[in-house]
Structure 1
Amino acid sequence: MTTLSDTDPRTIARLLLEAAGQGEVDAQALLGQILLDGQGISRDAALAFTWFGIAARQGHAMALNMLGRCHEHGWGCPPDLEAAARCFQQAAERGLDWGMYNLANLLATGRGVAQDHRQAFALYLRAAELGHAKSMNLVGRYLHEGVLAEPEPQAALEWFRRSAEGGDFRGQFSYALRLLEQDRAEQARHWLERALAGGNLNFLRASRDRLLALPGLDDLALAYHRRAAELGDGSDHESYQALLARQPGSLS
């Protein structure tokens, strides 16, 4: 049986364009996403912003969230963090976990809104309880670091585990670090490898040198540097080559 995932992306784009033009709000939100990603259609961030806006004005929660992302990052519009926060707030009020997570990120860092860790934590926790893996990792970090109260290492470990199992590469890395503290090296390596497989460039850059400071993980540190070099720019390649020079016996 043929499914939508088996359909040619250009055909999906055409069908979404037709449905969006007929006022189907879900199609409008999805059309904005494929325009933003360039899937089956020419990438056009400004047109994506327009379609997100059309769907958002009808109260579509994910469209509101994505409109906020556009405002946050300047995708198809000038960056406007205050507008982003308003969009995320509306998405969160409609029960969308991604809206809660993105609004919490602004509150935690004081971007576009006054910094408020207590409100950020409450939003992360709400999203985590809905099954949002990235929020689970942030709940774990708040509890592990004792941002709002005394640290709760056992509760933090449980949230890190749930985040890792939920597929968040940062949660996988966080969980691995806690496992290493408990001398559970084999399990930790498993999650570090999973994080490497799914991690983006910013994550790899932030994590690669941290691994160098941990005993017995030189091979994984090298693998993180190598993957960053594959995804990144000249500076990432230089960092990888410098590490290779210090580890002449390592696999390249």
Structure 2
Amino acid sequence: MSSGIDALNLQPLSPQDAEYIRVIRLLGQNKDAEALAIIRPLAEKGNAAAQNTLGMLYAQGKGVPQDDRQAVFWYQKAADTVPEAAFNLGGYYLYGMGGLPVQPEKTVELWEKASTDSKQPFATAMMDLGILYMNGADGVPPDQKRAVRLIERAAQAGLARAQDELARLYLDGVGKQQSDKQAFE
């Protein structure tokens, strides 16, 4: 008889994965310099999770000088495999930061990618893409039906902000039939 853990068919962590987990722990303990000494080589070797995390550190100025261009550089490297990196990069295109032009249609492309990733769809991307479609932007016409579908998916994924927004849509009857009952469920 196999134990529950055996039934999961867990694979051993690669040395890179173990180091990345160590980096996350160090960052949680505010040991930024120690974390950076490990994460930068991981990112340079192509570890996409490390690339995304290094991008976030540059975006926030945590352990390194705040530098949007460096954040964009690392997000671009990770965006094909890490939904959160695609989402983060999309924000830079939306606002024209980090040396990128304002391109809301590129934001849509990246947020769509992040929200439909087959391994781990990123609920925040669904929510923010829904808001973008609700309001529209240059090159992105408003699309209330699509907006509501995205916000519903984010709410179903457990994103509290999307659940609140969905309740507001029901209360106001925006994109949904007005329903106090649905709003408070």
Match in the other structure for 1:32? 23
Give the TM-score normalised by the residue count of structure 2.
Answer: 0.82
Which residue identity is paired with 2:169? R
For 2:155, the equivalent position in structure 1 comes to 164
Matched, 1:185 2:177: no
Q: Distance in 1 between matches of 2:78 and 2:140?
A: 29
Tell me the equivalent position of 2:10.
none
Instruction: Tell me by how many angstroms 1:185 deviates.
Output: 2.0
Q: Highest CA radius of gyration, 1 or 2?
A: 1
Q: How much does 1:121 deviate?
A: 1.1
Superposition misfits of 4+ residues, deviation over 3 angstroms:
none
Match of 2:79 in 1: 92
Amino acid at match of 1:155: R
| Pairing partner for 1:50 from 9, 25, 37 | 37
What is the deviation of 1:2? 9.4
| One-letter amino acid matched to 1:115 | V
**Which residue of 39, 52, 74 maps to 1:65?**
52
- If the length of structure 1 is used for normalisation, what is the TM-score? 0.62
Match of 2:134 among 136, 144, 149: 144
Q: Kindly tell me: are residues 52 and 158 of structure 1, through their superposed partners in 2, closer, same or farther at Cα, counting changes over 3 Å? A: same
Q: Is 1:111 the counterpart of 2:97 in the alignment?
A: yes
In structure 2, C-alpha distance between the alignment counterparts of 1:185 and 1:37, rounded to whole Å = 41
Structure 1 position 111, deviation (Å): 2.1
Q: Call closer, same or farther: CA 1:71–1:180 in 2, change over 3 Å.
A: same
Q: Who is 2:88 aligned against?
A: 102
Amino acid at match of 2:54: L
Amino acid at match of 1:30: I
Aligned Cα RMSD in Å?
A: 1.9
Query: How many pairs align?
Result: 167
SS at match of 2:141: coil
- Structure 1 residue ranges without an equivalent (≥5): 4-18, 191-252
Please state which structure has a larger fraction of its residues in helix.
1
Q: Structure 2: any 5+ residue segments left out of the alignment?
A: 6-12
Between the two structures, name the one with larger relative contact order (CA 8 Å, sep ≥ 6).
Answer: 2
**2:61 & 2:154 partners in 1: Cα distance?**
29
Identity %, equivalent residues: 25
